[in-house]
Structure 1
């Protein structure tokens, strides 16, 4: 027994040092090299400071709407709804979001509403929406702000974040950055 116990204890201690010490220090070093130094990316606009990597609640008709949040945009505890695609409560919630969207965006066909405008992300804090989700809102914002649709479409195109290295992930639009650019455009 002693033959197996001592190596097991040594391996456990070595793993503890490597995974609790060195691994954490390596990740901390990498985090210090990226923008924001591992503290999140802060943006100042409209006299406030925001975190660009955390979803914000935008529900006014004059702004591009964010992806819904299962945690009410509370960054203290992220999480999805944990409801399956056939769950009646989830289906009811999604239908309510569709109905609300259609009330605020008359003339948009239900089939054109991108899924990311009516479902929450896994974290509930996704700061980005798809390009289609931004484009489907252009008509509403154009009418409210009296800005030509072509100008808003150009603003969306300028706000597109390309996939990492052109390969990883979809192209998307950060809603906070887009709405701050929209406010600057109108000033």
Structure 2
């Protein structure tokens, strides 16, 4: 029996060391050497202070800033740990709302969000990504259409010409990766930081 058990234990230890220790350390080291900023979390720094990550969205509620997609992430309720409360872009609890097309709560939320956005800009159709959550709840990007939809509100709140804000949005659009993968997108944090820079000029 020992003759059968020993090779199995040796194999278990060897594979654990290779796949559980050596491989992750090697990949982490290679990623850190080739893509140091991305391996460190794509952190965005402003005036020596880290203001966020290019990979995780943030909640912007001021009329002076572009808003991202709605986030369905939650956190424990401080008053009752058995319940949860909305906590937009909570990276510790990534996930969607799990509400299906037949959900009355989802339909009611969508109706309210669309009405609010229509009041903000009735000249354009409401982009889908401004009223729907992503699967992770942490999406840092919006479509160029969603960014353009918000231009009148942001320009009015900041007393800047719409043409200037539109040019800024156009400069922040990222194309498809290698020209074919993914969709054109705008990183909301990067756009809002560029917007603040524009206001300082």
In the TM superposition, what is the alpha-carbon distance from 1:56 to its structure 2 partner? 0.8
Aligned length: 184
RMSD: 2.4
Mean Cα deviation higher: 127-136 or 78-87: 78-87
Structure-to-structure mapping, 1:36-185, within 5 angstroms:
36=37, 38-45=39-46, 48-51=49-52, 52-71=54-73, 72-103=88-119, 105-109=120-124, 112-185=125-198
Q: Distance in 2 between matches of 1:19 and 1:115?
A: 42
Superposed CA offset, 1:121-179 (max 9, x none): 11111111010100111111122222222211111111112222222211110101101
Q: Give the TM-score, by structure 2 length.
A: 0.79
Q: Distance in 1 between matches of 2:177 and 2:30?
A: 17
Counterpart of 1:17 in structure 2 is 17
Extract unaligned runs of 5+ from structure 2.
74-87
Extract unaligned runs of 5+ from structure 1.
none
Q: Residues 158 and 83 from structure 1, CA distance in 2 versus in 1: closer, same or farther, beyond 3 angstroms?
A: same
SS at match of 2:44: strand
